[in-house]
Amino acid sequence: MTGVRDELARLAGEALDYADAEVAIRRAHRRRVRNTVASVATAVLVAIGTAVPVLWLRDAGEAAPTSEVSPSPDSKATDGVQLYRPNQTIDGVALPPGAQDKTGEIGRVWRTAHGVVLMGTKGTYFAYNNDPIMVLLAPAGTPATVSADGRFAAWVGDDGAAWVADLSQELVTGAPVMALPQGVRVQQWAGDRLVLTNAARARWMLWRPGDAIGAMWQDGEFRTSDGAGTMALVIDGTGCLVRVNLSTLGEEEKACDGSFTVVEASPDLKWLWLERNGQHLLADGERFFQDPVGVRPIGAMPGQVVWSGRRWVMVSADGTLLRVLSTSGSVFDEMDVEKGTVLVEMPSG
């Protein structure tokens, strides 16, 4: 090993450029606004206490919120994330006129090679890239799931069968694959297999569409898997969160320190967004199983969450506030967005 100066210089060379002036200014601006609100509130309390009849809040001067900074959702902080905003293009895909009437309120959007999948209150539709055609995939009330690579969609049809659509085809159509037993639903893709769940009986199984459904049910509540379908997170019968190897279906690690549930996970399961008793927490998925106490609380956080590749991005339930969180849970960036904004789930790998 060489000298400490050389070693430090070499290590420093691995650093990325983390500095972003636009985000820093926006954070400074928010801090000023918060301080102004706090000082005005204090002034009001003092004024009330001393019976001052008139408050002159108009001239707040230097500390007043200004509009010098106009938040842009296209900053570096949201790299890796696309937003669906009502009546605007989605990652270059313009929706046909009247699309909103067809889909109803949109809850989830997936980007695929030939278009986007829109899951709305009136059904799940496929909109081709720059084409006025939208295809109905799944009817209303049957939540669809799209594979991590954006290639397949699956859902349970009105007929109780599992339907699959190959989104990589030029012409996207769904087809029934197999009638499912009563109470069984399609949860999500795990690689090229589907996870079927029976919530009432707290069990799950992996199923490759086209194969017969055997008796390979696993006990526990399936939560999520990595994009490749090699590892899954499952709540077992005793409430422990378990990492399950999907090749062997064996338990690899287990955390029993509290009833955690998984809200979202990065595609490699490296980062976890957890919930426990209404409290939301962030965790390093590799260290969590050795040290479940080391999770970072971030408060209650309703809305949609996705992993951008570097950070957590969330949109509030009404789609008006976008927040970017670092892996340690601090607010990295925050901005107002158009009501109804939804995060677009991008293909991985």
Partner 1 sequence: MNRYEGFEEFVRARGAALSRTAYLLCGDHSAAEELVQDSLARAAGHWRRIVNTNPEGYVRKIMVNQHTSWWRRVGRRERPYADLTAVMEGGRDDAQVTTERLALVTALAALAPKQRAVIVMRYYEDMSQAEIAEVLGVTTGTVKRNTYDALRKLRALLPTLDLEPEAGR
Residue ranges in contact with partner 1 by CB under 8 A: 1-5, 7-25, 27-28, 31-32, 68-69, 291, 293-294, 296, 310, 326-328, 330, 332
> Cβ of residue 306: shortest distance to partner 1, in angstroms?
17
> Cβ of residue 46: shortest distance to partner 1, in angstroms?
24
Render 14-30 in DSSP notation, one character per residue: T------HHHHHHHHHH
Render 319-345 in DSSP notation, one character per residue: S-EEEEE-TTS-EEEEEE--TT-EEEE
> Cβ of residue 267: shortest distance to partner 1, in angstroms?
17
| Choice between 14 and 159, CB closer to partner 1 | 14
| Choice between 21 and 200, CB closer to partner 1 | 21
| Choice between 20 and 251, CB closer to partner 1 | 20
> Cβ of residue 11: shortest distance to partner 1, in angstroms?
6
> Cβ of residue 341: shortest distance to partner 1, in angstroms?
23
| Choice between 90 and 298, CB closer to partner 1 | 298
Q: How many CA atoms lie within 13 A of 33 on its CB side?
A: 11
Q: Are 39 and 22 in contact (CB under 8 A)?
A: no
| Choice between 23 and 265, CB closer to partner 1 | 23
Partners of 127 in beta bridges: 116, 134
> Cβ of residue 50: shortest distance to partner 1, in angstroms?
30
Which pair of tokens denotes residue 285?
């998925």
| Choice between 20 and 257, CB closer to partner 1 | 20
> Cβ of residue 253: shortest distance to partner 1, in angstroms?
17
Closest CA to 172 of 125, 110, 225: 125
Pairing of strands 106-111, 342-345: parallel
> Cβ of residue 304: shortest distance to partner 1, in angstroms?
22
CB neighbours (10 Å) of residue 165? 23
> Cβ of residue 238: shortest distance to partner 1, in angstroms?
26
Using CA atoms, how far residue 84 sits from 205, 281, 290, 305, 339, in Å, is 33, 26, 38, 14, 11
210/178 Cα distance (integer angstroms): 7
Using CA atoms, how far residue 107 sits from 29, 48, 347, in Å, is 31, 45, 17
12/314 Cα distance (integer angstroms): 32
| Choice between 16 and 200, CB closer to partner 1 | 16
- The long-range contacts involving 184-188, CB below 8 angstroms and separated by at least 24 positions, are 184/156, 185/156, 186/145, 186/154, 186/155, 186/156, 186/162, 187/145, 187/222, 188/145, 188/224, 188/225
| Choice between 134 and 325, CB closer to partner 1 | 325
Which pair of tokens denotes residue 140?
């209303």
SS3 38: helix
| Choice between 200 and 293, CB closer to partner 1 | 293
Q: Are 32 and 63 in contact (CB under 8 A)?
A: yes
